[in-house]
Structure 1
Amino acid sequence: MPTKKRTVRPAPAAKKCGTCKGSGEIFIPVRVGGRKQRTTDDQQTGLCLACLGSGEATD
């Protein structure tokens, strides 16, 4: 009896997170100073809280 070949379908591609655009990181401006908290031109990276760093959108 011949056996059937099973074709394996690839998993559908996950949607990218809209907040971080799929990178998992966001850029946060650096603030300095006491009460005035002025923003500098420097940036630091932070973990995307919308996807928790995975880069995939949650539905």
Structure 2
Amino acid sequence: MATKRTTTKPPTATAPAPVEPATCQPCGGTGNVAITVRVGRKRRSVGQQDGLCLNCLGEGTDPSPGTDA
């Protein structure tokens, strides 16, 4: 009768911890940036309003270059 071969089980691979995406620098992760409102012929500043962040397009996460297809 042949001898029985025994092998050890390979260690189970644990999944790496999920990496949180970095926040966008211009908007600080909010997706909004302050835009100065100008009025009049001399274009004086009267206040600010919220505008969409053009870097992340309102997502709030840092776009990683090179992921576009």
Same fold at TM > 0.5: yes
Structure 1 segments unaligned to the other structure (5+ residues): none
Matched, 1:25 2:32: yes
Give the CA RMSD over aligned residues.
1.7
Q: Say which structure is richer in strand.
A: 1
Q: Which runs of 4+ in 1 moved over 2 A?
A: 5-11
TM-score normalised by length of structure 2:
0.66
Give aligned pairs, total: 53
Higher-Rg member (1/2): 2
TM-score normalised by length of structure 1:
0.75
Q: Which has the higher contact order (CA 8 A, sep 6+)?
A: 1
